[in-house]
Structure 1
């Protein structure tokens, strides 16, 4: 985390105390974007514990590469805990990477282009694309308004009742954290941990 990001967010009237409590945060680019995208799909709509269990099984039983995912029998992926739908989704991602999507091409794109490229893959939505931008490409100014943890964090830091803020209001509040909205998001998640 840059000194500018830390100072800006530390002096924010809503995030300042959380920033002080948790100190500087880091965004580290992933060395294997394919693997991380598969993990994001596994994590969709699951508790942290359930997702970790399924993720561990997949990594134990399958080579998590485009070729490895496509070569794995569906029954093996299902036995790991993936639903039939998620088996299709991880295979769609594998096919996209075999068809030319790559870490290099994604890193060269701006945020909007990454979201467009990823959401063309069936099973990858805007939330997953934004998580990819933050946790795989380490982009500093992404605000995942679609995330429930972000909503709960904003409710806590703005001291409002559950569901009192619209997505538009959340995005508007987050504008004050530009160009460090990814870091602000990390702090919002810490607020509800």
Structure 2
């Protein structure tokens, strides 16, 4: 984390206490972009603990590579806890990577183009694409308002009810954290962990 990002977020009247409590955080590119994208798909619309259980089973029983997921028996994937729909999604991602899709090709793109490219893969939505931007490409200015943890963090630091405040309002509030919204997101997640 740059000194500028830390200093700016620490001075924020709403987020500053969380920043001070947790200290500087870092964004590190993922070692394995394919694996990280599969993890994001597994995590979709699940509690943290349920996602962790499924993830652990999947990594224990299957080689999490494009070839490994495509070769895995559907029953084994289901036994890991993946729904039929998510089995299809991880296989779609595996096929895309096997056909030449790569993080390297996305690194040169701006954030919107990365989101557009990723969401062409069936099963990869905007939330998953934003997780890829943050946790694979280590982009510093992504605000995944689609994430429940982010919305709960906004609720905690701003003191409003996320059920009554629009995502547009949350985006407006987060705009002041530009160009460090990914770091702000890390702190929002920490505030509710």
Q: Same fold (TM over 0.5)?
A: yes
Cα distance in 2 for partners of 1:62, 1:152 equals 33
Which position in structure 1 is the counterpart of 2:7? 7
Q: Distance in 1 between matches of 2:73 and 2:103?
A: 26
Kindly state the Cα deviation for residue 162 of structure 1 after the two structures are TM-superposed.
3.6
**1:164 shift after superposition:** 2.9
**Structure 1 residue 59, shift from structure 2 partner:** 1.1
- Per mean C-alpha deviation after superposition, the further-off stretch among 3-12 and 68-77 is 68-77
Q: Which residue of 1 aligns with 2:81?
A: 81
- The answer to whether the Cα contact below 8 Å between 1:155 and 1:165 also exists between their aligned partners in 2 is no
Aligned length: 193
Q: Conserved in 2, the CA contact under 8 Å of 1:28 and 1:136?
A: yes
**Is 1:135 paired with 2:135?**
yes
Residue by residue over 1:53-90, the C-alpha shift from the partner in whole angstroms, topping out at 9 and shown as x without a partner, is: 11111111111111111111111111111111100000
CA distance in 1, matches of 2:168, 2:53: 35
How far apart are the structure 2 equivalents of 1:155 and 1:49?
22
- Tell me the TM-score normalised to structure 1 length: 0.97
Cα separation, 2, equivalents of 1:87 and 1:128: 16
Name the residue aligned to 2:65: 65
- Corresponding residue number in structure 1 for 2:102: 102
Distance (whole Å) between structure 1 residues aligned to residue 53 and residue 155 of structure 2: 30
Q: Which sections of structure 2, spanning at least 5 residues, go unmatched? A: none
| Preserved CA contact (<8 Å) 1:143 1:185 | yes
Residues 82-106 of structure 1 deviation map (CA, whole Å, 9 limit, x = unaligned)? 1111000000000111122112112
Per-residue CA deviations over 1:138-191 (Å, capped at 9, x if unaligned) read 110000011111111111111123423211111111110000000001111111
Query: How big is the alpha-carbon RMSD for the aligned residues of Structure 1 and Structure 2?
Result: 1.0
Q: Structure 1, residues 10-37: CA drift from partner, whole Å, max 9, x if none?
A: 0011111111111101111001100000
Displacement of 1:47 in angstroms is 1.5
TM-score, scaled to structure 2: 0.97
Q: Which runs of 5+ in 1 are unaligned?
A: none
Alignment of 1:131-170 (within 5 A): 131-170=131-170
Where in structure 1 do 4 or more consecutive aligned residues deviate above 3 Å? none
